[in-house]
Amino acid sequence: MLRRPATGGDTSSPYVAVGAHESWSARTPLPWRLALLTFAVVAFAVGAVTFLAYWSVSLSINARVDRELDRKANAVLENLVDPLYLINLEWEIQHFKEYSPGTRLAVSPPGWSFVRGDAIPLDGTFRETAEGVSTVVHAVGGERVLLKSDGVGGMVILAQDMSGAHEQIASLGAVLLVIALLGILLAVASGLVVATAGLKPLQRLQRAVDHIADTDELRPIAVYGNDTLAQLTRSFNAMLATLQESRRRQTELVADAGHELKTPLTSMRTNIELLMMLNREGAAGRITEQDHRDLERDVLAQMTEMSALIGDLVELAREDTPDTVWESVELGEAICSSLERVRRRRSDVDFEVTLLPWELSGEQFALNRAVVNLLDNAAKWSPPEGVVRVAMRQLADDRVELTVADSGPGIRPEDRERVFERFYRSPENRSQPGSGLGLAIVKQTLERHGGAIRVSESDDGGTRMIVELPGRRSAGDPGE
């Protein structure tokens, strides 16, 4: 997809590729992303467990060696206070090494200034205890060295060869590494299996959506289970139902509009063709001047009817788009300005008006149009010298009632709900002028502003339109 940037001082390429810089994760299929995410999580967990196992086993082996060296050192220290042990010190050292293979020994009895036994390198510092015993453990040249002294000057140095322990630790590390690699491979395979199995419902939903896009059939999608994906499918079905209803209404509007436009267009074409014939050479005098003027008036009236019908269709097709300007509307002022227009058309009808100062948030033009339609409808069906009664009554702090009652023939109870349908006109009123869209526009406008409308009978047998609207009482003068 290409998007053309705004013109001006930009010297870059005239087109920008949307999505050219998408991240790798956005380009990777969802199953692979889930598999890689599973792999990453499992690999981290396996690696952490492997490291902790290796580290804990190493510490455990070293701690076990240290405890064994400490036990042997304590035994030698106890023997250093025995004179017989000291007399046979060389033999005792050799005897100790025979029973402790891999361990070297050096001792310094109390009061001695030299060390007997093996030459063991020392490193580290002593740690004094409360009993006066000093101990230090360190590793030197592949050996674990322990030095321990008692409180009377005796000292023992033990060096344990750690090559065997290191081989055990290395073997353990190799085994753990193999286990970790196998676990990671198993995690990758499991991730692919889980992703494939888990995304099957989503793939089924995708196929259903693709079928709708390809065939334009807005049929509901089958719902399986009650999980999150099932809820998503239900929401999608609700969207399809709304779209289907919108399409149905659009189709009906086009069909009804075509039907309603056909009659005035045919009549107007016939009258225009007749006028054209009369204006040809030699056609003068075929009709009287009065008939000629009547034809012209008919054409103008039909054009006016066509213009009004098209305006009603446009108003009916309008939606409450985001760019619609909502402002504070004074309902009383809107009624007064509408009354002026209606009175000019029906000067033979009296209007009794009782208004309240009422303010609401809405679209000024649409509300004015709805009020004009209500008053026009009441004036049209009222006989000469009839009365149209307009009254406002506050129902609550945030609710007002507007009634428009006429002196006309009224609406039958079975037709009172249908009068708000598009293009509906009762059989006995189909010969009257009008498109049947006025009250449909009124109802749509009121509902868009949070209001409602219903029909009842007026006190003198005519029609009473009862409108409820939100808002609040204002301090201004309604004007009437």
For 205-219, write each residue's pLDDT tens digit.
778 888 777 887 777
d(CA 179, CA 177): 5
Residue 261: phi and psi, rounded to 5, are -75, -25
What are 187-245's pLDDT values in tens digits? 777 777 777 777 777 777 778 888 777 887 777 878 777 777 788 888 888 888 888 88
Question: Reduced to 3 states, what is the DSSP secondary structure of residue 321?
Answer: coil
Question: Reduced to 3 states, what is the DSSP secondary structure of residue 50?
Answer: helix
Q: Dump strand ranges (E) for 406-458.
A: 452-457
Ramachandran bin of 12, using left for φ above 0, alpha for ψ from -120 to 50, beta for the remaining angles: beta
Cβ neighbourhood burial of 285 (10 Å; 0-12, 13-18, 19+): exposed
pTM, to two decimals: 0.48
Please count the helices (runs of H) and the strands (runs of E) in the chain: 11, 16
Examine the pLDDT at 250 and tell me if it is beyond 80.
no
133 touches 151 (CB < 8 A): yes
Examine the pLDDT at 320 and tell me if it is beyond 50.
no
Of 36-40, 288-292, 386-390, highest mean pLDDT: 386-390
Examine the pLDDT at 6 and tell me if it is beyond 80.
no
102 touches 93 (CB < 8 A): no
Q: Are strands 134-140 and 143-149 parallel, antiparallel or unpaired?
A: antiparallel
Examine the pLDDT at 14 and tell me if it is beyond 50.
no
User: Residue 18: which pLDDT band, with cuts at 50, 70 and 90?
Assistant: very low
Pull the structure tokens for residue 265.
């267009």
The whole-number pLDDT of residue 389 equals: 93
User: Residue 404: which pLDDT band, with cuts at 50, 70 and 90?
Assistant: very high
Domains of the chain: 77-168 (no CATH), 228-316 (1.10.287), 325-473 (3.30.565.10)
- Computed on alpha carbons and rounded to an integer, the radius of gyration of the chain in Å comes to 50
Question: Reduced to 3 states, what is the DSSP secondary structure of residue 150?
Answer: coil
What are 325-340's pLDDT values in tens digits? 788 999 999 999 889 8
User: Residue 359: which pLDDT band, with cuts at 50, 70 and 90?
Assistant: very high
d(CA 143, CA 139): 5
In the predicted model, what is the mean pLDDT of the chain?
78
Of 198-202, 342-346, 371-375, highest mean pLDDT: 371-375
Examine the pLDDT at 412 and tell me if it is beyond 50.
yes
User: Looking at per-residue confidence, does 267 or 335 come out higher?
Assistant: 335
